[in-house]
Amino acid sequence: MIPAVQGDLVPLPHGIPQHLRVSASSLQQREERSRVPPCGKELRVARSLLEPVLYRTWTAWALSALEQHLRWEAVTPAWREYRERWGRAVRASDAPAETAARLLELEGCTQWTAVQPSWAARRDDWAAPLKARIREPQVAIALLRFEEALTWEAVSPAWRAYVERWREKLDAIARAE
């Protein structure tokens, strides 16, 4: 239940300093200025109250969500240094080819121990379409295949509760093919 707005301030839990409060009108102005993807406002992921982040495509959002649930043990040590820059590139991706390139980067930094043994035989066939001209449904399919190749040990326990909804959204995009 969302509490009613008192005056022009968005109510925050007790203990939050007054200087962190954000006026409702400024939030509304930011929302109006924000570019909202055609798939809806639910893609909005707020890193903080002051810096809302928008993903420009569903597949970019899904790729970021998957990466956020990967354990550190599932990726190479180099990923720690590259991750922040990669995340900015994902958020800026507005074309399927850009999201596909980021997916290839993530997969390339994923440890072989984090994927099913059969992934080694399937990987080249999986990667080939991502390097060519690609559309959003094909990126969705590639994301689904990569996620299926990951072991449960490679992802956080929270992913189990989240993955079905994630797969449903990507399945819907893939069916558009």
pLDDT in tens, 102-144: 999 999 999 999 999 999 999 999 999 999 889 999 999 999 9
Q: What percent of the chain has pLDDT above 90?
A: 61
The answer to which of 22-26, 59-63, 104-108, 122-126 has the lowest mean pLDDT is: 22-26
Q: Name all contacts of 121-128 with Cβ < 8 Å and 24+ positions apart.
A: 122/149
Structure tokens of 66?
């998957």
Identity of the amino acid at 34: S
pLDDT at position 177 is 67
> How many CB atoms are closer than 10 A to CB 54?
15
Q: Are 103 and 143 in contact (CB under 8 A)?
A: yes
Q: Which residue has the higher pLDDT, 134 or 10?
A: 134
Using CA atoms, how far apart are residues 98 and 89, in angstroms rounded to an integer? 8
Q: pTM for the whole thing?
A: 0.69
Exposed, middle or buried: residue 44 (CB in 10 Å: 0-12, 13-18, 19+)?
Answer: middle
Instruction: Kindly tell me if the per-residue pLDDT of 31 is higher than 80.
Output: no
Predicted confidence (pLDDT) at residue 13 exceeds the cutoff of 80: no
Mean pLDDT to the nearest integer, 141-157:
97
Residue 91: is its pLDDT beyond 50? yes
CA–CA separation, 64 and 159 (whole Å): 13
* Cβ contacts of 114-120, under 8 Å, gap ≥ 24: 114/70, 114/71, 114/73, 114/74, 114/75, 114/150, 114/151, 114/153, 114/154, 115/149, 115/150, 115/151, 115/154, 116/149, 116/150, 116/151, 118/149, 119/149
